[in-house]
Amino acid sequence: MVKWTNHLIKKRMVALAGVRRDMKLETAFGEAVKIKRRAAGMTQEEFAEVLEMNQQAISRLERGVVSPSLTMVARVAVALRTRPSTLLRLAERIQVYAGGAGPSSAPVSTGNP
């Protein structure tokens, strides 16, 4: 499965290369979920059933229309038999490869004025 996932990642990254210079983390996370879901051999409908959601919610998640909570990130990771950190690292790779700045270059708020 790792080999298949890597193949899907490379294929998707080629498709995204330079196309979306302003890719948000939500969009990149959605792409990561889509890659992992497809590597697991699940349709959106099957994935939605595992998560006890509807297919439209999965579609919105994969398109980056919604910003998932930490709880949702964890649920998605469990359903895909991976770790939340793996999904987030993949999302960052996708974001950087697609031309986005990636979260590492964004200013970090410490909460202090």
Q: What is the DSSP string of the chain?
A: -HHHHHHHHHHHHHHHTTT-TT--HHHHHHHHHHHHHHHTT--HHHHHHHHT--HHHHHHHHHT-S---HHHHHHHHHHTTS-HHHHHHHHHHHHHHTT---GGGS----S--
Q: Domain residues for 8? A: 2-100
Q: Is residue 45 part of a domain?
A: yes
Q: Is 21's pLDDT higher than 80? A: no
Average pLDDT over residues 3-32: 72
Residue 96's CATH number? 1.10.260.40
User: pTM here?
Assistant: 0.74
Overall number of domains in the chain:
1
pLDDT in tens, 32-88: 999 999 999 999 999 999 999 999 999 999 999 999 999 999 999 999 999 999 999
Digit-coded pLDDT (tens) for 76-104? 999 999 999 999 999 999 888 877 555 54
Q: Does 28 or 97 have the greater pLDDT score?
A: 28
Q: Is residue 106 part of a domain?
A: no
